[in-house]
Structure 1
């Protein structure tokens, strides 16, 4: 899948969970959503894109969720 599409979808998920009053819970829920509903190759591609600087458009809340909960992904 195209990295730009993955970033767009991840950012949409982040926007949804950003409305939660508890930021820690929002970060955990973003990671949980990605783990439950994204195939492993999609998650790997997003993480690799973030790691190598190709996914700079990832929203800060999504980046924080990926960093904090990486081991769960």
Structure 2
């Protein structure tokens, strides 16, 4: 998974929602979009890049960081169960 590409895609999503007048609605919209349209390994990699910001070369926008922190539980994929 290319972390720089994931951050760039998340930043573009953030740019779209950043124009919304209601900040809470924008944050929820970012999280909802990532949750609905990104597969679990993409979300894991994006959250890992949030935890280790120096590992990638591209900066994550402030609104994306805020959305990931606020909605981290919703965005964290459930652990796979092998029964």
- Relative to the length of structure 2, the TM-score reads 0.84
5+ long unaligned stretches in structure 1: none
Normalized per residue, the structure richer in helix is: 1
Structure 1 residue 57 and structure 2 residue 59: aligned?
yes
5+ long unaligned stretches in structure 2: 76-83
The 10-residue stretch of structure 1 (34-43 or 50-59) with the greater mean CA deviation from structure 2: 50-59
- Relative to the length of structure 1, the TM-score reads 0.95
Which contiguous aligned blocks of 4+ residues in structure 1 show a shift greater than 3 angstroms?
A: none
The residue that corresponds to 2:22 in the other structure is 22
Computing the radius of gyration over CA atoms, which structure comes out larger, 1 or 2?
2
Question: d(CA) in 2 for partners of 1:16 and 1:24?
Answer: 14
The residue that corresponds to 2:47 in the other structure is 47
Alpha-carbon RMSD across the aligned residues, in angstroms, is: 1.0
How many residue pairs align between the two structures? Answer: 73
Question: d(CA) in 2 for partners of 1:58 and 1:72?
Answer: 19
